[in-house]
Amino acid sequence: MNLLFCCVGAKPEPWVAGLRAELPEANVQDWTPGALPADYGVVWAPPQQFLDEQPQLKALFNIGAGVDALLKLRLPPAASVVRLDDAGMSVQMAEYVSHAVIRHFREFDGYEADIRSGKWSYRKPLMRANFPVGIMGLGVLGERVARTLTQFDFPVKGWSRSPKTIEGVQCFSGEAGMADFLAASRVLVCLLPLTPETTNIMNRETLSKLQPGAYVINVARGAHLVDEDLIALIDGGHIAGATLDVFRNEPLSTDHAFWKHPKINITPHTSARTLREETIAQIAGKIRAVEGGTPITSLAGVVDPNRGY
C-alpha cells in the first residue's frame, strides 16, 4: 500500500512520520513531482499536477472539514474525497462560538472600552430568552456548537438543508424554513459548507430578516458573507456587530474596512485548527478499514461532489 502526503503550507516531516507510525505496513512518502503511483493521498490545497500524476488514486483524505477548494480541481476519476468528521475540531469550534456569543451577550466589549478610558461602570443584565442563537449548518461542527450553547441556557435554533432533530434545539430546514429561522434568531452563526447555493447566503436580504440588534458570527467561509452588506446593516443599526474568523481573501488585506470597524471583531481563521495527531489517527483508521474490506463510500466524511460536502 502506497500513500502520498501533499499538503501545501504544512511541514511534511511530522505528518509523514506520524502516518508511518500509524500505518507501518504502508509506504508513506511526501509527494514530489514524478512520484510513483499511490493508493491514497493525504492532501490540503494540492496542486493540479499532483492530481494529474496520480489518476489511479482510490481516495483523497482532506486534512480539514472544508473541501470547497479541493472540489474546484480536476480530480482523479475513481478517487473518493473524504473530509475530517471531527478530529478535535468540533470542541474548538464550540469554544470559539460560545466565547463570541457570550462576549456579545455580556457586553464585554463595552466593559473593556470603559476600563480603557478609566470608567467604572455597570450594565443591566440582559435576558437570555431575548437572545436566541441561530446555527446555520448542522453538520458535525454545527451540531456540537448547538448542543454546547444549550448548556448556557440560550434558546438555540438550527437550520440545515435537510430535516434534523437535536435535543433542545428548534430545527428548521430547506428553503421553506429559512425565513422563519432567520426571524427567530438574534445571533446568527454560519457553519455551512461552501457550495454554489450557499455562496453569498449572508447578504442584505437575508441579514435584514434577523431580529433587530442581531449579531453575526462567521466561522465557515468568507464567501458566505457579502462584506459590504454586513457593514451597511451595522452602520444602519439593524445589526449590532459581528465576529468574523474567515474572509474572502486571506490574509485579510490591510486596507479592508473590517480591520478598523469598531463593532467588528476579527480573528485570523483560527476558530478550529487541524490537530495533527487526532487527524492522523482518524485517517489511518479509515485507511485500515478500507484495506480490511470496508467500502470507501461507507466511511464517515465521504463527500458527495454534487452537494459539495
Whether residue 86 is predicted with pLDDT greater than 90 in this model: the reply is no
Backbone angles phi, psi at 220, to 5 degrees: -100, -85
Over range 141-164, report the average pLDDT.
Answer: 97
Domains of the chain and any CATH numbers: 2-87+274-298 (3.40.50.720), 90-266 (3.40.50.720)
Of the two residues 85 and 128, the one the predictor is more confident about is 128
Over range 23-45, report the average pLDDT.
Answer: 97
Of 83, 144, 161, 221, the catalytic one is 221
Of 99, 269, 276, 288, the catalytic one is 269
Question: pLDDT confidence of 275, banded at 50, 70, 90?
Answer: very high
Over range 147-175, report the average pLDDT.
Answer: 98
Q: What is the pLDDT of residue 82?
A: 97
Over range 226-234, report the average pLDDT.
Answer: 98
Give the burial class of 88: count Cβ atoms within 10 A of its Cβ; 0-12 exposed, 13-18 middle, 19 or more buried: middle
Rounded to 10°, the helix 276-291/12-22 angle is 40
Rounded to 10°, the helix 108-116/89-105 angle is 60
Alpha carbon dihedral 303, 161, 202, 194, in 10-degree steps, equals 10
User: Mean pLDDT for the chain?
Assistant: 96
Question: pLDDT confidence of 256, banded at 50, 70, 90?
Answer: very high
Q: What is the pLDDT of residue 64?
A: 86
Q: What is the pLDDT of residue 13?
A: 97
Whether residue 97 is predicted with pLDDT greater than 90 in this model: the reply is yes
CA distance 81 to 305: 8
Whether residue 151 is predicted with pLDDT greater than 90 in this model: the reply is yes
Which amino acid makes up residue 116? R
Question: pLDDT confidence of 40, banded at 50, 70, 90?
Answer: very high
List CB contacts of 222: < 8 A, sequence separation 6 or more: 246, 247, 248, 249, 250
Q: What is the pLDDT of residue 65?
A: 83
Whether residue 85 is predicted with pLDDT greater than 90 in this model: the reply is no
Question: pLDDT confidence of 87, banded at 50, 70, 90?
Answer: confident
Annotated active-site residue 269? The verdict is yes
Question: pLDDT confidence of 2, banded at 50, 70, 90?
Answer: very high
Whether residue 306 is predicted with pLDDT greater than 90 in this model: the reply is no
